[in-house]
Amino acid sequence: MTVLALVVIFFALIIVGAPIAVALGGSALIASFLFSPIPDGITGQKFFANLNHFTLMAIPFFFLAAGLMERGGLVQRLVGFAQALVGHLRAGLGMTTVLTCIFFAAISGSSPATVAAVGNILYPSLKKEGYSDNYSIGALATSGSIGILIPPSIPLILYGFVTETSIPDLFLAGIIPGILYGTLLLFTARFLAVKEGIKVRPKASRKEVKTAFRSSLPALSLPLFIVVGIYGFPEFNLFGFYYDGGAIFTPTEAAAISAVLAMGIGFFIYKELSLKELLTVTAETGPRVGMIFWITANALLFGFFLTKIGVPAAMAQFVLDMNVSPIVFLLCVNVLLVIVGFFLEGVPTILIFSPLLVPAAESLGIDPVHFAIIMVVNIELGLITPPVGINLFVASSISGLPVMSVFKATLPWMIATIVTLMIVTFFPPLSLFLPNLGQ
């Protein structure tokens, strides 16, 4: 009865137009008030305690770093280097778009931020080069989704926080699937360019590649710095200096340092960041972070309520009683998450469904790290499907095209996302190889 009331109240709030955060927190509060499974005082304490976690501080810093990269000239240098590498190939600028999204994703952790930062620079260039609207905006909207798979990743941070899974392990798990997804998108860019009739650019000389690399080196050093800092160096003894190995700093500290470095590079190396733009980026970051934290606090309250009334445990027991195989379970999860992706953004999807599904997955012997990557690739698919696919709206604002036109443009590119999802689902070593290597 309590679960039924919770679901009815939640959907009633959605129907009357309440934001998803209000529907999550409001339904939990109303159901708790009616059936009293949680004392009111504990409910209030839990709501504020949900945000009192060191791990969550990584989110605003990665968002800030992404904004500083865009305004400080780092994205332009990444574009220049990618163009020097593949610009001479057929679909060179299309492939440049994919590569730049991969580079930027390795710092920002956010797909919408990747689409916005790369799209504002490359969409006009793609159009000027002669690429069609469909090709240009389809490449940007889909390639931008890689931002939440290649570490760092905001959804992976939230998943680790909610399920108490190692965030460094989750970051490692996203590397190989992210490279696979990027490779499939590069092949898609090349294949679709055949119909575009684009002239092939001259190959960049060694000197031009060297110059582009040297110019982009400060920007490229950021993801390397993050990876080395989080995972550290192996144990070594050099000329009497002994280092016992291990991590240098946490993912949260890495986020803060990356924001400081992006600011320093923009101010003192590229000299394209001003104090006024720094204040603008900070002001733009605040509402985005506030929205995520507001959703997080309410979603965790919703999850806490479900846990108190025993829903995750009951779901795990139900899966065991059904005696389904792990493969059948993962197929059902994929179908569920694809449907959910039509209506929910990535953050609430992670916060609502990971506490429900992870216990059931673990009861079948599915590694929670592997399961995290499956969830994230499903979220990538949701980012480019209407009616709430946020990448579609960002791409629409960049191009001026209607959202449904952007969605149609992503359909050929979406094949790469679906293939990645299938491989990640049915081949766990792809996700688990690097985390297991580090143990």
In tens, the pLDDT along 375-427 reads 999 999 998 988 778 899 889 988 888 989 999 999 999 999 999 999 999 99
Omega before 429 cis (within 30°)?
no
State whether 82 and 198 are in the same domain.
yes
What domain count does the chain have? 2
CA 201 to chain centre: 33
Q: What percent of the chain has pLDDT over 90?
A: 29
What residues make up the domain containing 315?
A: 50-437
- Residue 410's pLDDT is 94
- Rounded to whole angstroms, the Cα distance separating 6 from 33 reads 11
Q: In this predicted structure, what is the pLDDT of residue 296? A: 83
Distance between CA atoms of residues 113 and 101, nearest Å: 10
In this structure, the answer to whether residues 294 and 336 fall within a common structural domain is yes
What are the φ/ψ torsions at residue 243 (nearest 5 degrees)?
-125, 125
Whether residue 237 sits in one domain with residue 126: yes
Identify any residues that bridge with 237 across adjacent strands, giving them in sequence order.
Answer: 242
135 shares a domain with 182: yes
Taking only the tens place, the pLDDT of each residue in 255-279 is 888 899 999 999 999 998 989 999 9
As a whole number of angstroms, the distance between CA 121 and CA 134 comes to: 17
Cβ burial, residue 377 (10 Å; 0-12/13-18/19+): buried
Task: Report helix, strand and coil shares of the chain as percent, to nearest 5.
Answer: 80, 0, 20
Alpha-carbon gap, residue 251 to 168, rounded angstroms? 7
Q: Which two tokens stand for residue 226?
A: 């993050």
- pLDDT at position 19 is 84
pLDDT of amino acid 243: 59
Structure-token pair, residue 112: 């919408």
Q: Are residues 35 and 84 in the same domain?
A: no
Cα 432 to Cα 381: distance, rounded to the nearest angstrom? 21
Q: Given a cut of 70, is residue 238 above it in pLDDT?
A: no
The pLDDT of residue 361: 93
Q: What is the pLDDT of residue 251?
A: 85
Predicted pLDDT of residue 438: 61
What are the helix (H) ranges across 111-205? 111-129, 133-143, 154-163, 167-192
What is the reported pLDDT for 412?
Answer: 93
Q: What is the pLDDT of residues 69-97, one digit of tens each?
A: 888 888 889 888 888 888 777 788 888 88
pLDDT at residue 170, as a whole number: 94
- List alpha helices for 16-110, DSSP H: 20-35, 40-49, 58-71, 74-86, 92-108
DSSP-derived letter for residue 246 is B
Pull the structure tokens for residue 122: 């490359």
pLDDT for res 329: 93
Q: Is the pLDDT of residue 178 over 90?
A: yes
Please indicate, yes or no, whether residues 333 and 228 belong to a single structural domain of this protein: yes
Question: Is the pLDDT reported for residue 109 higher than 80?
Answer: no
Q: Band the pLDDT of 429: cuts 50, 70, 90.
A: very high
Any residues with CB less than 8 A from the CB of 329 and at least 6 apart, and which? Answer: 319, 360, 361, 364, 366
**Whole-angstrom distance, CA of residue 403 vs CA of residue 406:** 5
217 and 265: one domain? yes
Regarding whether 226 and 178 lie in a shared domain, the answer is yes
Among 344, 297, 355, CA closest to 20: 344
By the 8 A CB rule, do 399 and 123 touch?
yes
CA distance 181 to 145: 10
SS3 243: strand
Please name every residue paired with 236 in a beta bridge, in sequence order, or none if there are none: 243
Contact 160, 166 (CB under 8 A): yes
201: DSSP letter: P
Mean pLDDT of 213-224: 87
Q: What is the pLDDT of residue 188?
A: 93
Looking only at the bridges linking them, the beta strands covering 236-238 and 241-243 are antiparallel
- At position 418, the amino acid (one-letter code) is I
pLDDT in tens, 14-52: 888 888 888 888 888 888 788 766 666 677 777 777 677
The confidence band for 136, taking pLDDT boundaries of 50, 70 and 90, is very high
Q: Which two tokens stand for residue 123?
A: 């969409």
Please identify which residue in the block is written with the tokens 């009739």: 197
Cα distance between residue 161 and residue 313, in whole Å: 19
Whose CA is closest to 218, among 100, 39, 75, 361? 75
Do residues 281 and 71 touch, judged by C-beta distance below 8 A? yes
CA distance 278 to 138: 31
Domain boundary among 9, 31, 49: 49
User: Domain check: are 400 and 268 in the same one?
Assistant: yes
Residue 198: predicted pLDDT = 73
Residue-wise pLDDT for 323-372, tens only, equals 889 999 999 999 999 988 887 888 888 988 898 899 999 989 999 999 99
| Residues in Cβ contact with 200 at an 8 Å cutoff, skipping those fewer than 6 apart | 88, 89, 90, 92
Interior CA angle at 218 toward 111 and 93, to 5°?
55
Residue 39 shares a structural domain with residue 113: no
Answer yes or no: do 150 and 32 share one domain. no
Q: What is the mean pLDDT of the chain?
A: 86
Instruction: Identify which has the larger pLDDT, 234 or 413.
Output: 413
Mark whether 241 and 337 lie in a shared domain.
Answer: yes
